Structure 1
Amino acid sequence: MKAYLFPGQGSQFLGMGKNLYKNSHFAKQLFQLADDVLKFRITSIMFDGTMNILKKTKYTQLSIYIYSVIKAKILNNFEPDMVAGNSLGEFSALAAINVFSFEDGLILVNQRASVMQEICESTNGGMAAVLGLEDSIIEDICNKDRGIIVPSNYNGPKQLVISGEKEALKRVCFSLEKKGAKKIFILPVHGAFHSPIMDPAVKKFENFINKIPFKDSKCPIYQNVTAKPVMKSNDIKKNLVKQLTSPVRWKQSIENMIYNGATSFIEIGPRNILKGLVKKIIENFSKKI
Structure 2
Amino acid sequence: MSIAFTFPGQGSQSVGMGKALAEAFPEARRVFDEVDDALGEKLSQVMWEGPEDRLTLTANAQPGLMAVSMAALQALEAQGVSLKDKVAYVAGHSLGEYSALCAAGTFSLADTARLLRIRGNAMQEAVPAGEGAMAAILGLEQQAVEDACREAGGPCQVANDNGGGQLVISGAKAAVEEAARLCTDKGAKRALMLQVSAPFHSALMGPAADAMRDALAKVGKRAPIVPVVCNVSVNPVTDPDEIVKRLVEQVTGRVRWRETVEWFAANGVTTLYEIGSGKVLSGLAKRIAKDVSTANVSTPADVEAAAAALG
Q: How does the TM-score come out when normalised to structure 1?
A: 0.95
> What is the match of residue 91 of structure 2?
84
* Aligned residues of 2:132 and 2:171 also touching (Cα < 8 A): yes
1:249 aligns with one of 251, 256, 264: 256
Q: State the distance in 1 between where 2:189 and 2:286 align.
A: 20
Distance 2:36 2:82 in 1: 25
Rounded to whole Å, the distance in 2 between the matches of 1:178 and 1:123 is 25
What letter matches 1:14 in structure 2? V
- Judge conservation of contact 2:12–2:277 (CA < 8 Å) in 1: yes
Q: Return the letter of the residue paired with 2:43.
A: I
Report the equivalent of 1:31: 32
Percent identity between the two aligned chains: 37
In the TM superposition, structure 1's runs of 4+ consecutive aligned residues that sit over 2 Å from their partners are 120-123
Matched residues in 1 for 2:18 and 2:5: separation?
Answer: 19
Q: Deviations over 1:206-225 (max 9, x none)?
A: 01101111111222211111
Query: Which residue does the alignment assign to 2:18?
Result: 17
Q: CA deviation at 1:33?
A: 1.5
Amino acid at match of 2:196: V
Other-structure match for 2:219: 212
How much has 1:122 moved relative to structure 2?
Answer: 5.2
Decide which moves more: 24-33 or 245-254. 24-33
**1:233 is aligned to 2:240:** yes
Contact residue 73 and residue 96 of structure 1 kept, 8 A: no
**Structure 1 equivalent of residue 182 of structure 2:** 175
Distance 1:135 1:126, change over 3 A: same
Residue pair 2:130, 2:173 contacting (<8 A) in 1 also: no
- 1:1-289 mapped onto 2 (5 Å cutoff): 1-75=2-76, 76=79, 77-79=81-83, 80-121=87-128, 124-283=131-290
Q: Give the C-alpha shift of residue 187 in structure 1.
A: 1.4
Q: How many residue pairs get matched?
A: 285
Change (3 A) 1:159 1:284: farther
RMSD over aligned Cα atoms: 1.4
Q: What is the deviation of 1:27? A: 1.5
2:33 & 2:148 partners in 1: Cα distance?
48
- The runs of 5 or more residues in structure 2 that have no matched partner are 293-311
